[in-house]
């Protein structure tokens, strides 16, 4: 569960988990991987943009509140740089 995109089945969706808490990325990533998704992860919005320059991301699950740039900033950037990526916002209650 890192940045490198493995060779995948063309029908397998790639999900990017974005959260500044490692524990959240690991747990959510394992759950999604067990469900059959190819999972990548990033701790912040800037790393997401670097990953999107290298990989096709089908879905990004993103924390709303992160340091430096928040989820809404990232949504605007993805809309321009990776418009086909679907974005799901998540946050702690």
Tens of pLDDT along 10-35?
Answer: 688 999 999 988 999 999 999 999 99
8-state DSSP, 83 = T
Q: Considering only the top CATH level, what class is 14-90?
A: alpha beta
pTM: 0.83
d(CA 36, CA 43): 22
**pLDDT at residue 90, rounded to an integer:** 87
Helices (H) and strands (E) in the chain, counts: 3, 4
User: Helix, strand, or coil here: 48?
Assistant: helix
d(CA 87, CA 89): 6
**pLDDT at residue 58, rounded to an integer:** 96
Binned at pLDDT 50, 70 and 90, residue 56 comes out as very high
* Token reading at 36: 């059959």
């Amino acid at each position: 569960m890192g940045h490198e995109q493995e060779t995948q089945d063309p029908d397998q969706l790639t999900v990017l988990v974005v959260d500044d808490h490692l524990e959240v990325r690991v747990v959510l990533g394992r759950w999604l991987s067990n469900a059959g998704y190819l999972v990548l992860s990033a701790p912040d919005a800037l790393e997401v943009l670097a990953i999107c320059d290298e990989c096709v991301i089908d879905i990004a699950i993103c924390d709303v509140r992160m340091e430096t740039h928040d989820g809404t900033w990232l949504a605007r950037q993805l809309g321009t740089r990776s418009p086909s990526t679907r974005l799901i916002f998540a946050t702690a209650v």
